[in-house]
Structure 1
Amino acid sequence: MKKFVDIHDVTHVYARTEDGAAAVEHLNLAVREGEFAAIVGPSGCGKSTLMKLATGLQFPIKGTVIVDGKQVTAPVKLAGMAFQNPTMLPWRTTLDNILLPLEIVEPHRSKLRRHKAEYVAKVEKLLAQVGLKGQGHKFPWQLSGGMQQRASLCRALIHEPKLLMLDEPFGALDTFTREELWCVIRDLHAASPVTVILVTHDLREAAFLADRIFCMSARPGRIVAEREVDFPRPRDLEITYTPEFTTLVHELRGHIAQARMAA
Protein backbone atom coordinates (compact mmCIF):
# COMPACT_ATOMS: atom_id res chain seq x y z
CA MET A 1 0.00 0.00 0.00
CA LYS A 2 1.47 3.35 -1.06
CA LYS A 3 2.26 6.27 1.21
CA PHE A 4 -0.47 8.88 0.98
CA VAL A 5 0.90 11.39 3.49
CA ASP A 6 4.69 11.50 3.81
CA ILE A 7 6.21 14.00 6.23
CA HIS A 8 9.99 13.76 5.92
CA ASP A 9 12.50 15.36 8.33
CA VAL A 10 10.27 18.37 8.91
CA THR A 11 11.08 21.26 11.23
CA HIS A 12 8.68 24.15 11.71
CA VAL A 13 8.92 27.36 13.74
CA TYR A 14 6.11 29.86 14.14
CA ALA A 15 7.43 33.33 13.34
CA ARG A 16 5.67 35.01 16.25
CA THR A 17 6.94 32.78 19.06
CA GLU A 18 9.02 34.79 21.51
CA ASP A 19 11.67 32.12 22.13
CA GLY A 20 11.97 31.04 18.49
CA ALA A 21 11.61 27.40 19.55
CA ALA A 22 10.48 24.85 16.97
CA ALA A 23 6.96 23.46 17.19
CA VAL A 24 8.12 20.25 15.50
CA GLU A 25 11.68 19.17 14.74
CA HIS A 26 13.00 16.33 12.55
CA LEU A 27 9.43 15.03 12.28
CA ASN A 28 8.99 11.89 10.19
CA LEU A 29 5.63 10.25 9.58
CA ALA A 30 4.10 8.22 6.76
CA VAL A 31 0.42 7.29 6.50
CA ARG A 32 -0.68 4.72 3.98
CA GLU A 33 -3.51 5.25 1.52
CA GLY A 34 -6.85 4.30 3.07
CA GLU A 35 -5.34 3.98 6.54
CA PHE A 36 -6.86 5.36 9.74
CA ALA A 37 -3.98 6.92 11.68
CA ALA A 38 -4.14 8.56 15.11
CA ILE A 39 -1.68 11.08 16.55
CA VAL A 40 -1.38 11.29 20.35
CA GLY A 41 1.00 13.10 22.67
CA PRO A 42 1.29 15.59 25.54
CA SER A 43 -0.33 19.03 25.27
CA GLY A 44 1.65 21.45 23.13
CA CYS A 45 3.63 18.73 21.38
CA GLY A 46 2.78 19.89 17.86
CA LYS A 47 -0.15 17.62 16.97
CA SER A 48 -2.17 20.47 15.48
CA THR A 49 0.94 21.81 13.73
CA LEU A 50 1.32 18.43 12.06
CA MET A 51 -2.27 18.72 10.83
CA LYS A 52 -1.64 22.20 9.42
CA LEU A 53 1.51 21.02 7.65
CA ALA A 54 -0.30 18.05 6.09
CA THR A 55 -3.07 20.25 4.71
CA GLY A 56 -0.94 23.16 3.49
CA LEU A 57 -2.13 25.65 6.10
CA GLN A 58 1.52 25.97 7.21
CA PHE A 59 4.76 25.21 5.35
CA PRO A 60 7.88 23.82 7.05
CA ILE A 61 11.12 25.76 7.26
CA LYS A 62 12.96 22.47 6.66
CA GLY A 63 11.96 19.12 5.21
CA THR A 64 9.20 18.07 2.82
CA VAL A 65 5.51 17.26 3.07
CA ILE A 66 4.08 15.08 0.30
CA VAL A 67 0.38 14.28 -0.05
CA ASP A 68 -0.91 11.95 -2.78
CA GLY A 69 2.47 11.99 -4.50
CA LYS A 70 2.80 15.78 -4.69
CA GLN A 71 4.83 18.15 -2.51
CA VAL A 72 2.56 20.46 -0.52
CA THR A 73 3.11 24.08 -1.62
CA ALA A 74 -0.47 25.34 -1.26
CA PRO A 75 -3.61 24.42 0.68
CA VAL A 76 -4.52 20.81 -0.08
CA LYS A 77 -7.85 20.77 -1.93
CA LEU A 78 -8.33 17.02 -1.60
CA ALA A 79 -8.55 17.28 2.21
CA GLY A 80 -11.60 17.61 4.44
CA MET A 81 -11.28 18.87 8.02
CA ALA A 82 -13.33 18.70 11.21
CA PHE A 83 -12.42 20.38 14.49
CA GLN A 84 -13.43 20.31 18.15
CA ASN A 85 -15.66 23.34 17.55
CA PRO A 86 -18.07 22.60 14.67
CA THR A 87 -18.15 26.35 13.73
CA MET A 88 -21.49 26.15 11.97
CA LEU A 89 -22.77 29.44 10.54
CA PRO A 90 -25.86 30.25 12.64
CA TRP A 91 -27.77 32.01 9.83
CA ARG A 92 -27.55 29.00 7.50
CA THR A 93 -29.50 25.79 7.79
CA THR A 94 -27.63 22.57 8.53
CA LEU A 95 -27.96 21.57 4.87
CA ASP A 96 -26.57 24.90 3.66
CA ASN A 97 -23.71 24.67 6.18
CA ILE A 98 -22.77 21.29 4.77
CA LEU A 99 -22.90 22.63 1.21
CA LEU A 100 -20.51 25.49 2.09
CA PRO A 101 -17.25 23.76 0.94
CA LEU A 102 -18.83 23.16 -2.47
CA GLU A 103 -19.19 26.91 -2.90
CA ILE A 104 -15.40 27.20 -2.56
CA VAL A 105 -13.77 24.03 -3.94
CA GLU A 106 -13.54 23.34 -7.67
CA PRO A 107 -14.88 21.58 -9.67
CA HIS A 108 -17.95 21.63 -7.40
CA ARG A 109 -18.13 25.42 -7.27
CA SER A 110 -18.75 25.64 -11.01
CA LYS A 111 -21.35 22.86 -10.96
CA LEU A 112 -23.25 23.63 -7.75
CA ARG A 113 -25.92 25.92 -9.16
CA ARG A 114 -26.66 23.73 -12.20
CA HIS A 115 -26.68 20.47 -10.23
CA LYS A 116 -28.03 21.68 -6.89
CA ALA A 117 -30.55 18.84 -6.57
CA GLU A 118 -27.80 16.21 -6.94
CA TYR A 119 -25.68 17.86 -4.25
CA VAL A 120 -28.64 18.20 -1.91
CA ALA A 121 -29.29 14.47 -2.37
CA LYS A 122 -25.66 13.80 -1.40
CA VAL A 123 -26.11 15.88 1.75
CA GLU A 124 -29.27 14.01 2.67
CA LYS A 125 -27.47 10.69 2.19
CA LEU A 126 -24.60 11.79 4.45
CA LEU A 127 -27.03 13.07 7.08
CA ALA A 128 -28.75 9.69 7.10
CA GLN A 129 -25.38 7.93 7.48
CA VAL A 130 -24.56 9.93 10.61
CA GLY A 131 -28.01 9.62 12.19
CA LEU A 132 -29.39 13.03 11.20
CA LYS A 133 -31.94 11.98 8.60
CA GLY A 134 -34.46 14.75 8.00
CA GLN A 135 -32.54 17.34 10.04
CA GLY A 136 -31.11 19.37 7.17
CA HIS A 137 -33.72 22.15 7.46
CA LYS A 138 -32.80 22.95 11.06
CA PHE A 139 -30.43 25.74 12.08
CA PRO A 140 -27.32 24.93 14.15
CA TRP A 141 -28.81 26.47 17.31
CA GLN A 142 -31.62 23.92 17.04
CA LEU A 143 -29.15 21.02 17.25
CA SER A 144 -27.33 19.56 20.25
CA GLY A 145 -23.53 19.64 20.40
CA GLY A 146 -23.33 16.03 19.26
CA MET A 147 -25.69 16.67 16.37
CA GLN A 148 -23.63 19.70 15.28
CA GLN A 149 -20.50 17.57 15.31
CA ARG A 150 -22.24 14.97 13.13
CA ALA A 151 -23.14 17.73 10.70
CA SER A 152 -19.53 18.95 10.80
CA LEU A 153 -18.39 15.48 9.71
CA CYS A 154 -20.83 15.65 6.80
CA ARG A 155 -19.41 19.05 5.80
CA ALA A 156 -15.87 17.63 5.88
CA LEU A 157 -16.91 14.75 3.62
CA ILE A 158 -19.32 16.43 1.18
CA HIS A 159 -16.67 17.13 -1.48
CA GLU A 160 -15.50 13.49 -1.31
CA PRO A 161 -11.98 14.20 0.00
CA LYS A 162 -9.20 11.67 -0.27
CA LEU A 163 -7.82 12.82 3.10
CA LEU A 164 -9.89 13.49 6.23
CA MET A 165 -8.18 15.41 9.04
CA LEU A 166 -9.84 15.31 12.46
CA ASP A 167 -8.50 17.67 15.14
CA GLU A 168 -9.95 16.68 18.54
CA PRO A 169 -13.42 16.45 16.96
CA PHE A 170 -15.14 14.85 19.95
CA GLY A 171 -13.19 16.45 22.80
CA ALA A 172 -15.99 18.76 23.96
CA LEU A 173 -18.67 16.05 24.10
CA ASP A 174 -19.85 13.86 26.95
CA THR A 175 -18.64 10.26 27.12
CA PHE A 176 -21.77 8.64 25.71
CA THR A 177 -22.07 11.05 22.77
CA ARG A 178 -18.35 10.72 22.08
CA GLU A 179 -18.59 6.93 21.89
CA GLU A 180 -21.62 7.16 19.60
CA LEU A 181 -19.58 9.33 17.25
CA TRP A 182 -16.66 6.90 17.38
CA CYS A 183 -19.03 4.40 15.81
CA VAL A 184 -20.23 6.95 13.26
CA ILE A 185 -16.70 7.73 12.06
CA ARG A 186 -15.82 4.01 12.17
CA ASP A 187 -18.70 3.29 9.79
CA LEU A 188 -17.94 6.26 7.53
CA HIS A 189 -14.35 5.09 7.15
CA ALA A 190 -15.45 1.52 6.45
CA ALA A 191 -17.81 2.75 3.70
CA SER A 192 -15.23 4.84 1.81
CA PRO A 193 -11.53 4.66 0.80
CA VAL A 194 -10.67 7.96 2.55
CA THR A 195 -7.38 8.24 4.44
CA VAL A 196 -7.95 9.54 7.97
CA ILE A 197 -5.57 11.29 10.39
CA LEU A 198 -7.06 11.82 13.85
CA VAL A 199 -5.40 14.14 16.36
CA THR A 200 -6.62 13.33 19.86
CA HIS A 201 -5.80 13.39 23.57
CA ASP A 202 -8.14 10.45 24.16
CA LEU A 203 -6.09 7.25 24.14
CA ARG A 204 -9.21 5.07 24.17
CA GLU A 205 -10.46 6.92 21.11
CA ALA A 206 -7.18 6.33 19.28
CA ALA A 207 -7.10 2.64 20.22
CA PHE A 208 -10.70 2.07 19.15
CA LEU A 209 -10.56 3.87 15.80
CA ALA A 210 -7.03 3.63 14.42
CA ASP A 211 -5.10 1.14 12.34
CA ARG A 212 -1.88 2.73 13.56
CA ILE A 213 -1.09 5.15 16.39
CA PHE A 214 1.82 7.60 16.43
CA CYS A 215 3.01 9.02 19.78
CA MET A 216 4.70 12.41 19.75
CA SER A 217 7.32 13.79 22.11
CA ALA A 218 6.96 17.00 24.07
CA ARG A 219 7.82 20.16 22.14
CA PRO A 220 9.58 20.28 19.78
CA GLY A 221 7.42 17.43 18.54
CA ARG A 222 8.68 14.33 16.81
CA ILE A 223 7.45 10.74 16.62
CA VAL A 224 8.82 8.68 19.50
CA ALA A 225 6.67 5.54 19.16
CA GLU A 226 4.53 3.89 16.51
CA ARG A 227 2.02 1.16 17.25
CA GLU A 228 0.00 -1.02 14.88
CA VAL A 229 -3.49 -1.77 16.21
CA ASP A 230 -4.37 -5.34 15.30
CA PHE A 231 -7.90 -5.55 16.70
CA PRO A 232 -10.09 -6.99 13.93
CA ARG A 233 -12.65 -4.81 12.16
CA PRO A 234 -15.48 -4.01 12.45
CA ARG A 235 -14.88 -3.10 16.11
CA ASP A 236 -17.66 -2.93 18.65
CA LEU A 237 -17.56 -0.79 21.78
CA GLU A 238 -17.44 -3.97 23.84
CA ILE A 239 -13.79 -4.32 22.80
CA THR A 240 -12.95 -1.31 24.99
CA TYR A 241 -13.64 -3.44 28.08
CA THR A 242 -11.23 -6.24 27.14
CA PRO A 243 -7.82 -6.79 28.80
CA GLU A 244 -6.09 -6.45 25.41
CA PHE A 245 -7.60 -3.02 24.86
CA THR A 246 -6.69 -1.86 28.36
CA THR A 247 -3.12 -3.08 27.85
CA LEU A 248 -2.81 -1.05 24.65
CA VAL A 249 -4.14 2.11 26.34
CA HIS A 250 -1.67 1.67 29.22
CA GLU A 251 1.17 1.18 26.75
CA LEU A 252 0.27 4.44 24.98
CA ARG A 253 -0.03 6.22 28.32
CA GLY A 254 3.48 5.02 29.17
CA HIS A 255 4.92 6.48 25.96
CA ILE A 256 3.30 9.85 26.68
CA ALA A 257 4.45 9.83 30.32
CA GLN A 258 8.02 9.25 29.12
CA ALA A 259 7.65 12.07 26.59
CA ARG A 260 6.48 14.46 29.32
CA MET A 261 9.34 13.49 31.64
CA ALA A 262 11.87 14.05 28.88
CA ALA A 263 10.63 17.59 28.27
Structure 2
Amino acid sequence: MADPTMMASLATDMTIVDMLMSPAVWLSFATLALLEVVLGIDNIIFLSIITDKLPKHQQPLARKIGLGLALLMRIVLLSMVAWIATLTTPVFSVGDHTVSWRDLIMLGGGLFLLWKGTGEIHHSMEGHDEGTSGKKSAVFGWVIVQIAILDLVFSLDSVITAVGMAEHLPVMIAAVVFAIAVMLFAAEPVSKFVHDHPTIKMLALSFILLVGVVLIADGLHLHIPKGYLYFAIAFSLGVETLNLLSAKRRARKNAEAAH
Protein backbone atom coordinates (compact mmCIF):
# COMPACT_ATOMS: atom_id res chain seq x y z
CA MET A 1 0.00 0.00 0.00
CA ALA A 2 1.10 3.56 -0.60
CA ASP A 3 2.85 5.57 2.07
CA PRO A 4 0.20 7.31 4.25
CA THR A 5 2.19 10.53 4.25
CA MET A 6 2.08 10.55 0.47
CA MET A 7 -1.62 9.79 0.54
CA ALA A 8 -2.28 12.67 2.90
CA SER A 9 -0.43 15.11 0.63
CA LEU A 10 -2.28 14.49 -2.60
CA ALA A 11 -3.22 18.15 -2.89
CA THR A 12 -1.22 19.49 -5.78
CA ASP A 13 -0.21 22.93 -6.96
CA MET A 14 -0.56 21.81 -10.59
CA THR A 15 -3.52 23.28 -12.43
CA ILE A 16 -5.74 21.23 -14.74
CA VAL A 17 -4.04 22.87 -17.73
CA ASP A 18 -0.61 21.90 -16.36
CA MET A 19 -1.74 18.31 -15.97
CA LEU A 20 -3.21 18.20 -19.47
CA MET A 21 0.10 19.42 -20.88
CA SER A 22 2.25 17.03 -18.86
CA PRO A 23 3.39 13.80 -20.60
CA ALA A 24 4.12 12.27 -17.19
CA VAL A 25 0.52 12.82 -16.11
CA TRP A 26 -0.82 11.25 -19.31
CA LEU A 27 1.49 8.27 -18.86
CA SER A 28 0.30 7.93 -15.26
CA PHE A 29 -3.33 8.09 -16.42
CA ALA A 30 -2.83 5.49 -19.16
CA THR A 31 -1.01 3.08 -16.85
CA LEU A 32 -3.51 3.48 -14.03
CA ALA A 33 -6.53 3.22 -16.36
CA LEU A 34 -5.20 -0.02 -17.85
CA LEU A 35 -4.55 -1.46 -14.40
CA GLU A 36 -8.00 -0.42 -13.18
CA VAL A 37 -9.58 -2.17 -16.17
CA VAL A 38 -7.65 -5.35 -15.35
CA LEU A 39 -8.66 -5.14 -11.69
CA GLY A 40 -12.24 -4.56 -12.85
CA ILE A 41 -12.36 -8.09 -14.28
CA ASP A 42 -13.34 -9.18 -10.76
CA ASN A 43 -16.33 -6.87 -10.82
CA ILE A 44 -17.51 -7.92 -14.27
CA ILE A 45 -17.30 -11.64 -13.51
CA PHE A 46 -19.09 -11.24 -10.19
CA LEU A 47 -21.80 -9.13 -11.82
CA SER A 48 -22.32 -11.68 -14.58
CA ILE A 49 -22.70 -14.51 -12.06
CA ILE A 50 -24.80 -12.76 -9.44
CA THR A 51 -27.27 -11.17 -11.91
CA ASP A 52 -27.76 -14.34 -13.95
CA LYS A 53 -30.54 -15.51 -11.61
CA LEU A 54 -32.65 -12.42 -12.22
CA PRO A 55 -35.27 -12.20 -14.98
CA LYS A 56 -33.79 -11.16 -18.32
CA HIS A 57 -35.36 -7.70 -18.24
CA GLN A 58 -33.85 -6.95 -14.80
CA GLN A 59 -30.30 -8.13 -15.47
CA PRO A 60 -29.06 -5.07 -17.44
CA LEU A 61 -30.49 -2.71 -14.79
CA ALA A 62 -28.83 -4.67 -11.97
CA ARG A 63 -25.46 -4.58 -13.76
CA LYS A 64 -25.76 -0.84 -14.39
CA ILE A 65 -26.67 -0.22 -10.75
CA GLY A 66 -23.74 -2.37 -9.64
CA LEU A 67 -21.23 -0.51 -11.81
CA GLY A 68 -22.76 2.82 -10.81
CA LEU A 69 -22.26 1.92 -7.15
CA ALA A 70 -18.69 0.85 -7.92
CA LEU A 71 -17.95 4.23 -9.54
CA LEU A 72 -19.61 6.16 -6.69
CA MET A 73 -17.71 4.22 -4.01
CA ARG A 74 -14.37 4.70 -5.79
CA ILE A 75 -14.84 8.46 -6.16
CA VAL A 76 -15.98 8.82 -2.53
CA LEU A 77 -13.02 6.78 -1.28
CA LEU A 78 -10.59 8.74 -3.46
CA SER A 79 -11.88 11.96 -1.88
CA MET A 80 -11.19 10.44 1.55
CA VAL A 81 -7.61 9.28 1.03
CA ALA A 82 -6.50 10.59 4.43
CA TRP A 83 -9.18 8.43 6.08
CA ILE A 84 -8.17 5.42 3.99
CA ALA A 85 -4.64 5.79 5.34
CA THR A 86 -6.02 5.23 8.84
CA LEU A 87 -7.55 1.89 7.82
CA THR A 88 -4.13 0.27 8.09
CA THR A 89 -3.78 1.36 11.73
CA PRO A 90 -3.99 -1.73 13.99
CA VAL A 91 -7.19 -1.88 16.03
CA PHE A 92 -6.35 -5.06 17.98
CA SER A 93 -3.85 -7.88 18.06
CA VAL A 94 -4.07 -11.66 18.08
CA GLY A 95 -0.77 -12.86 19.48
CA ASP A 96 1.92 -11.29 17.32
CA HIS A 97 -0.55 -10.59 14.50
CA THR A 98 -2.02 -7.09 14.30
CA VAL A 99 -5.44 -6.59 12.71
CA SER A 100 -6.59 -3.36 11.03
CA TRP A 101 -9.94 -2.32 9.61
CA ARG A 102 -8.57 -2.95 6.12
CA ASP A 103 -7.67 -6.51 7.15
CA LEU A 104 -11.19 -7.08 8.44
CA ILE A 105 -12.73 -5.73 5.22
CA MET A 106 -10.49 -7.98 3.10
CA LEU A 107 -11.22 -11.02 5.29
CA GLY A 108 -14.96 -10.37 5.20
CA GLY A 109 -14.94 -9.86 1.44
CA GLY A 110 -12.86 -12.99 0.88
CA LEU A 111 -15.13 -15.14 3.04
CA PHE A 112 -18.17 -13.72 1.25
CA LEU A 113 -16.68 -14.62 -2.14
CA LEU A 114 -15.82 -18.14 -0.96
CA TRP A 115 -19.35 -18.60 0.36
CA LYS A 116 -20.94 -17.20 -2.81
CA GLY A 117 -18.64 -19.06 -5.21
CA THR A 118 -19.06 -22.38 -3.40
CA GLY A 119 -22.84 -21.97 -3.30
CA GLU A 120 -23.02 -21.17 -7.02
CA ILE A 121 -20.80 -24.14 -7.94
CA HIS A 122 -22.96 -26.45 -5.81
CA HIS A 123 -26.08 -24.99 -7.41
CA SER A 124 -24.68 -25.60 -10.91
CA MET A 125 -23.47 -29.12 -10.17
CA GLU A 126 -26.75 -30.18 -8.56
CA GLY A 127 -28.78 -28.66 -11.39
CA HIS A 128 -31.33 -27.09 -9.10
CA ASP A 129 -34.32 -25.50 -10.77
CA GLU A 130 -34.11 -21.73 -10.97
CA GLY A 131 -37.69 -21.34 -9.82
CA THR A 132 -40.41 -19.09 -11.08
CA SER A 133 -39.84 -15.65 -12.50
CA GLY A 134 -41.87 -14.18 -9.65
CA LYS A 135 -39.55 -15.78 -7.17
CA LYS A 136 -36.55 -14.37 -8.99
CA SER A 137 -38.00 -10.87 -8.99
CA ALA A 138 -38.25 -10.98 -5.22
CA VAL A 139 -34.46 -11.25 -4.83
CA PHE A 140 -33.56 -8.15 -6.88
CA GLY A 141 -32.90 -6.13 -3.73
CA TRP A 142 -30.73 -8.90 -2.25
CA VAL A 143 -28.72 -9.07 -5.48
CA ILE A 144 -28.03 -5.32 -5.25
CA VAL A 145 -26.98 -5.72 -1.60
CA GLN A 146 -24.51 -8.45 -2.54
CA ILE A 147 -23.13 -6.32 -5.37
CA ALA A 148 -22.73 -3.37 -2.98
CA ILE A 149 -20.82 -5.51 -0.46
CA LEU A 150 -18.31 -6.68 -3.06
CA ASP A 151 -18.14 -3.22 -4.65
CA LEU A 152 -16.89 -1.92 -1.31
CA VAL A 153 -14.10 -4.51 -1.16
CA PHE A 154 -13.10 -4.13 -4.81
CA SER A 155 -13.32 -0.33 -4.58
CA LEU A 156 -10.99 -0.25 -1.59
CA ASP A 157 -8.47 -2.39 -3.46
CA SER A 158 -8.85 -0.20 -6.55
CA VAL A 159 -8.39 3.04 -4.64
CA ILE A 160 -5.31 1.75 -2.81
CA THR A 161 -3.82 0.83 -6.19
CA ALA A 162 -4.71 4.24 -7.64
CA VAL A 163 -3.16 6.14 -4.74
CA GLY A 164 0.00 4.09 -5.03
CA MET A 165 0.42 4.86 -8.74
CA ALA A 166 -0.69 8.46 -9.20
CA GLU A 167 -0.06 11.70 -7.34
CA HIS A 168 -2.97 13.80 -8.55
CA LEU A 169 -6.57 13.24 -7.50
CA PRO A 170 -8.08 14.33 -10.87
CA VAL A 171 -5.89 11.75 -12.63
CA MET A 172 -7.09 9.01 -10.28
CA ILE A 173 -10.75 9.94 -10.74
CA ALA A 174 -10.37 10.14 -14.54
CA ALA A 175 -8.71 6.71 -14.65
CA VAL A 176 -11.43 5.19 -12.47
CA VAL A 177 -14.22 6.73 -14.57
CA PHE A 178 -12.55 5.40 -17.74
CA ALA A 179 -12.24 1.91 -16.25
CA ILE A 180 -15.90 1.86 -15.16
CA ALA A 181 -16.95 3.02 -18.64
CA VAL A 182 -15.02 0.12 -20.19
CA MET A 183 -16.58 -2.28 -17.69
CA LEU A 184 -20.06 -0.92 -18.49
CA PHE A 185 -19.44 -1.51 -22.19
CA ALA A 186 -18.07 -5.02 -21.58
CA ALA A 187 -20.59 -6.16 -18.95
CA GLU A 188 -23.34 -7.22 -21.35
CA PRO A 189 -21.25 -9.28 -23.83
CA VAL A 190 -19.24 -10.86 -21.01
CA SER A 191 -22.40 -11.78 -19.11
CA LYS A 192 -23.99 -13.28 -22.24
CA PHE A 193 -20.83 -15.25 -23.03
CA VAL A 194 -20.62 -16.62 -19.49
CA HIS A 195 -24.33 -17.51 -19.52
CA ASP A 196 -24.16 -19.26 -22.88
CA HIS A 197 -21.13 -21.41 -22.01
CA PRO A 198 -21.47 -23.50 -18.82
CA THR A 199 -17.75 -24.40 -18.78
CA ILE A 200 -16.82 -20.70 -18.90
CA LYS A 201 -19.25 -20.07 -16.06
CA MET A 202 -17.52 -22.76 -14.00
CA LEU A 203 -14.15 -21.14 -14.72
CA ALA A 204 -15.62 -17.78 -13.68
CA LEU A 205 -16.83 -19.30 -10.41
CA SER A 206 -13.39 -20.81 -9.85
CA PHE A 207 -11.93 -17.37 -10.46
CA ILE A 208 -14.26 -15.96 -7.79
CA LEU A 209 -12.96 -18.59 -5.36
CA LEU A 210 -9.37 -17.66 -6.23
CA VAL A 211 -10.08 -13.97 -5.63
CA GLY A 212 -11.65 -14.88 -2.28
CA VAL A 213 -8.53 -16.80 -1.26
CA VAL A 214 -6.32 -13.87 -2.31
CA LEU A 215 -8.43 -11.42 -0.29
CA ILE A 216 -8.27 -13.65 2.80
CA ALA A 217 -4.50 -14.02 2.40
CA ASP A 218 -4.22 -10.23 2.05
CA GLY A 219 -6.23 -9.80 5.25
CA LEU A 220 -3.80 -12.17 6.97
CA HIS A 221 -0.80 -10.15 5.66
CA LEU A 222 0.18 -12.90 3.23
CA HIS A 223 0.80 -11.09 -0.03
CA ILE A 224 0.02 -13.06 -3.19
CA PRO A 225 1.00 -11.16 -6.37
CA LYS A 226 -2.16 -10.71 -8.42
CA GLY A 227 -0.15 -11.31 -11.57
CA TYR A 228 -0.12 -15.00 -10.68
CA LEU A 229 -3.89 -14.97 -10.26
CA TYR A 230 -4.59 -13.26 -13.56
CA PHE A 231 -2.09 -15.42 -15.42
CA ALA A 232 -3.78 -18.57 -14.09
CA ILE A 233 -7.26 -17.48 -15.16
CA ALA A 234 -6.01 -16.16 -18.53
CA PHE A 235 -4.27 -19.50 -19.21
CA SER A 236 -7.42 -21.42 -18.24
CA LEU A 237 -9.59 -19.22 -20.43
CA GLY A 238 -7.16 -19.65 -23.30
CA VAL A 239 -7.33 -23.44 -23.04
CA GLU A 240 -11.13 -23.37 -22.77
CA THR A 241 -11.35 -21.07 -25.79
CA LEU A 242 -9.40 -23.62 -27.82
CA ASN A 243 -11.81 -26.32 -26.62
CA LEU A 244 -14.82 -24.23 -27.67
CA LEU A 245 -13.32 -23.53 -31.10
CA SER A 246 -12.50 -27.20 -31.54
CA ALA A 247 -16.05 -28.22 -30.56
CA LYS A 248 -17.55 -25.68 -32.95
CA ARG A 249 -15.36 -26.96 -35.78
CA ARG A 250 -16.38 -30.56 -35.08
CA ALA A 251 -20.04 -29.57 -35.04
CA ARG A 252 -19.64 -27.79 -38.39
CA LYS A 253 -17.94 -30.85 -39.96
CA ASN A 254 -20.67 -33.14 -38.62
CA ALA A 255 -23.35 -30.85 -40.05
CA GLU A 256 -21.62 -30.82 -43.45
CA ALA A 257 -21.24 -34.60 -43.40
CA ALA A 258 -24.94 -34.99 -42.57
CA HIS A 259 -25.86 -33.06 -45.68
TM-score bracket for this pair, using the shorter chain length: under 0.3
- Which has more strand, going by share of residues? 1
Larger Rg: 2
Bigger relative CO (Cα 8 Å, ≥ 6 apart): 2
- Which has more helix, going by share of residues? 2
